[in-house]
Structure 1
C-alpha cells in the first residue's frame, strides 16, 4: 500500500478579511511529483505557506505522515519564491546551503567539516560548486535558484514544497532543476511544485492539482489535466493561443 505523506482536510485561509482559500481537501501519496497549477491570485503560494504553518489557517487540518508538522518537520523541505528572499544578505552560496542542515547541527553550533562537505556536494549536484564561495548577491537569478534548491536537497527530506522554482530561470537551469526533481521522485521522495507554464505540465508532472481558491481537481496528470478541467480552473482568465495540440489541449497563457 502506498504511504500517504500529506493529508489536507477542510483547509481555509485569508488575508485580512478576504478568504483566499476554502474547502481544501486532498491526499498526496509518496513518490509523486505534483504540479500546483492555477491562475494568478488562485492561492497557490498561500496554499503551500498555510500547509507549512507559515500563514495562519482559518480552519482545517494538515497531517504529514499521519502526524503533525512539528513531529514531521525534519522530513519536510521548502523552497520559497526567489523574490521573497533577501539576496543582499552578506553570505556565500556554501553558507546558504549549510543553513539547510541547521535542523541537524543545532542553531548554536558551528557546522563541522562533514556538514560543509555535504553542503558542497549538494551545490555540486546543482552545478554550482564553482560558486561555493561567491556572495549570493553576485549570482544571477538562475544561479540563486540553483543555490536554494541545493539548500533544500541537503536536508534529505521526504517531501519537498517548491514555490515557482522555474520562474525567471534560463532553459539550462530549468532542465537541471527538472532533472533533479525527477531524480527525487525516482528515489521515492514526494515533490509539490507551484508551476505557471501549462504547456510543460504533462512533460514535468505525474500528478497535478488544479487550484482556484479551492481544489478544482487533483490526481494523475493524464486523468486530470483535461481541456474541461483547465477551463473550470481558469474561467475568464484564459486566452486561447491558436489551435489545440495533439492531445486536444489548448495553448494557454494567463
Structure 2
C-alpha cells in the first residue's frame, strides 16, 4: 500500500485554479522533492493534502485512510514566513507543542516528555538554545526548532514546505542529514524545494509540478532536462547531470 495516494485533486486560490487533476502516489521510505516554478501550486498542494486549504474535488488518502484518522502519524513543517515568531515562547516550548497529541491539551507534560523535546533539540544542534525566545533566534535556528518539533512527534510521514529557504549552509546540512536519517529509518518525507542544483544530491525521488503533475518518479528518471523544461516552460539553463 502507498503511504500517500492523491487522485484527481483540484484546488483554487483567490479564485485562480492552482491545482488541476493532480494524481500521484508515494511509496514508503522515499525522500521526495516537490519542485516547480513560482505559482506552480507546491505549497498549496501540501495544504490541501493536510486539510489546511479546501479542495474543489479529488481525494487524498494516507495509509488508505483520511488525514483525520491518521494525523498522529504525520508531521508538518510550514514555511518559516507563515509563523508568528514574535509569539512569547522559548524553543523548548515550541518543540513541546509537537507532543500535545500524546500529552493531551489539558494535561501537564511529564518529565519524560520534556526529555524527548530536549533530545529533539539536541538532534538539531539546538540544545543550548532551549530557553531562548524564538524571536531572538536566527532564521536558520528557527527552522531547526520547527524541525525538532516535527521530529519529537515521531511521525511516519513528514511534509516540509521549503525548509532550506534562506538558511545558512550549516543549517542546510543539518536539516538534510536529519531528513536522510528519517529515510534510512523507513520514514517517508516530502519536501517543497527551490534549488534545482541540489535535487540530485539530496533526493531520491522528484515530483515536478506546474499546477498539474509534469513528472513523478525516481530522481534519475524524472529529473531530466526535458521534464524540467516542460515544468518551467523552457526558461531555465539546464544544471542537471542527464
Structure 1 Cα separation of the partners of residues 48 and 68 of structure 2? 14
Match of 1:234 in 2: 232
Mapped to 1, the partners of 2:190 and 2:17 lie a distance apart of 23
Q: Structure 2: how far apart are the matches of 1:15 and 1:36?
A: 19
Q: Tell whether 2:219 aligns with 1:225.
A: no
2: distance between equivalents of 1:15 and 1:61? 18
Question: Which residue is equivalent to 2:44?
Answer: 46
For 1:213 and 1:117, locate their aligned partners in 2 and report how far apart those are by CA, in whole Å: 43
The offset of 1:178, in angstroms, is 0.3
Counterpart Cα distance in 2 of 1:27 and 1:126: 30
Residue equivalent to 1:29: 27
Structure 1 residue 109: Cα displacement: 1.1
State the secondary structure of the residue aligned to 1:117: helix
Structure 2, gaps ≥5 residues long:
none
Q: Which residue of 1 aligns with 2:134?
A: 136
**CA positional deviation for 1:16:** 2.8
1:1-254 pair list within 5 angstroms: 3-236=1-234, 238-240=235-237, 247-248=241-242
User: TM-score scaled to structure 1, two decimals?
Assistant: 0.93
Shift of 1:17: 1.8
CA contact (8 A) 2:207 2:216 kept: yes
C-alpha distance in 2 between matches for 1:74 and 1:128: 24
CA contact (8 A) 2:179 2:189 kept: yes
Cα distance in 2 between the residues matched to 1:68 and 1:211: 23
Structure 2 contact 229–236 (Cα < 8 Å) conserved: no
Query: Distance between the aligned counterparts of 1:233 and 1:239, measured in 2?
Result: 10
Q: What residue is the counterpart of 1:252 in the other structure?
A: none
The whole-number CA distance in structure 2 between the counterparts of 1:18 and 1:132 is 42
Q: How many aligned positions are there? A: 242
**Hey, which bits of structure 1, 4+ residues long, moved more than 3 A?**
none
Gaps of 5+ in 1: 249-254
SS in 2 for 1:41: coil
Structure 2 CA distance, aligned partners of 1:39 and 1:115?
41
